[in-house]
Chains A and B, each alone.
Chain A
Amino acid sequence: MPSLISPAERDYILKGIECNIRADGRQRPDYREVILETGVISQTSGSSRVRLAGGTDVLVSVKADIGPVLVDPETGEGADKGQIICNVECAPSASQQFEGRGADELNNELTQMMTRFLSHNTTTLSTPSSTTSSSTAASNNNGAGGINLSKLCIIPGEQCWILYVDALVLDYGGNLVDAVFMGTRAAIFDTRIPKTEVQDLGDGNFDFEVLDDAEDTEVVEGREDMPICVTLNKIGARHIVDASPLEELCTEAKLVVAVNRSGELCGLQKGQDGGIEPSLLLEMIQFGKTLGQTLIKQLDAKIKAEAEADMIKRQNGQPVVKLGFFAQ
Chain B
Amino acid sequence: MELDGDHEDGADGSGVKDSSLHVVTPGEVITNDTAFMRGHGTYIENEKVVSSVAGVVDRVNKLISVRPLHTRYTGEIGDVVVGRITEVAQKRWKVDVSARQDAILMLSSINLPGGVQRRKQESDELQMRSFFMEGDLVVAEVQAFFGDGAYSLHTRSLKYGKLRNGSFISVPPALVQRCKSHFHSLACGVDVILGLNGYIWVSAHVPQNLDEIDTELVYSNKNKDITPRDRESIARVGNCIRALADEFIFINDTIISFAYE
Contact residues of A with B, CB < 8 Å?
1, 4-9, 11-13, 15-16, 19, 21-26, 246, 328
Asked whether A21 and B223 contact (CB < 8 A) given A5-B135, A6-B163, A8-B165, the answer is: no
Interface size of B as a range: 20 to 34
Q: Which residue of A6, A19, A328 contacts B136 across the interface (Cβ within 8 Å)?
A: A6
A328 to B226, CA, bound (A): 36
Among A4, A5, A21, contact of B235 (Cβ-Cβ < 8 Å): A21
- Residues from chain B with a CB closer than 8 A to the CB of A9 are 137, 167-168
In whole angstroms, how far apart are the Cα atoms of A6 and B84 in the complex?
A: 8
- Chain B: CB-nearest residue to A54: B242
The reply to whether A23 and B228 contact each other, CB–CB distance below 8 Å, is: no
Rounded to whole Å, the gap between the CB of A5 and the closest CB of chain B is 5
User: A5-B135, A6-B135 provided; 13 other pairs, C-beta below 8 A?
Assistant: A4-B85, A4-B134, A6-B136, A6-B137, A6-B162, A7-B221, A8-B163, A8-B164, A12-B165, A12-B226, A23-B234, A24-B239, A25-B238
Given contacts A6-B137, A8-B223, A25-B239, contact A19 B231 (CB under 8 A): yes
Contacts of B234 on A, CB cut-off 8 Å?
A: 23
Q: Smallest distance from the beta carbon of B68 to chain A beta carbons, Å?
A: 17
Report the nearest B residue to A327, measured CB to CB: B1
The 5 closest A-B pairs by CB, nearest first: A25-B235, A8-B164, A4-B135, A7-B221, A21-B231
Shortest CB-to-CB span from A281 to chain B, Å, is: 28
Assuming the A-B contacts A7-B221, A15-B223, are A25 and B236 also in contact, with contact meaning beta carbons closer than 8 angstroms in the complex? yes
Secondary structure of the B side of the interface? mixed
List B contacts of A19 (CB < 8 A): 228, 231
A259 CB to closest chain B CB, in angstroms? 29
- Restricting to B175-222, which residues have a CB under 8 Å from any CB of A? 221-222
Q: Please tell me which one of the listed residues B1, B165, B235 contacts residue A24 in the complex, with CB atoms under 8 A apart.
A: B235
B47 at the interface (CB under 8 A from A): no
**B86 adjacent to chain A (CB < 8 Å):** yes
With A4-B86, A4-B134 in contact, do A12 and B232 touch (Cβ < 8 Å)?
Answer: no
Report whether B84 and A4 are in contact in the complex, using a CB–CB cutoff of 8 Å. yes
Whether a CB of chain A sits under 8 angstroms from the CB of B173 is: no
Taken together as a complex, chains A and B put the C-alpha atoms of A23 and B135 apart, in Å, by 18
Quick check: is B55 within 8 A (CB to CB) of the other chain? no
Q: How far is A13 from B164 in the complex, measured between Cα atoms in Å?
A: 11
| Cβ < 8 Å to A, chain B residues 10-65 | none
Is there a chain A Cβ closer than 8 Å to B172's Cβ? Answer: no
Q: Are B133 and A7 within 8 A (Cβ)?
A: yes
Residues of A near B9 (CB, < 8 A) are none
Chain B residues near A11 (CB-CB < 8 A):
221-223
> Residues of A contacting B232 with CB < 8 Å?
21, 25
Contacts of B1 in A (CB 8 A): 328
Nearest CB of chain B from residue A246's CB, rounded to whole Å: 7
In the complex the two chains form, what is the Cα distance from A185 to B134 in whole Å? 40
Contact B162–A8 (Cβ < 8 Å): yes
Kindly state the separation between the CA atoms of A26 and B96 in the bound complex, as whole angstroms.
Answer: 28
Per-position 1/0 for B138-177, Cβ under 8 A of A: 0000000000000000000000001111111000000000
B226 near A6 (CB under 8 angstroms)? no
* Chain A residues with CB below 8 A from B223, complex form: 8, 11-12, 15
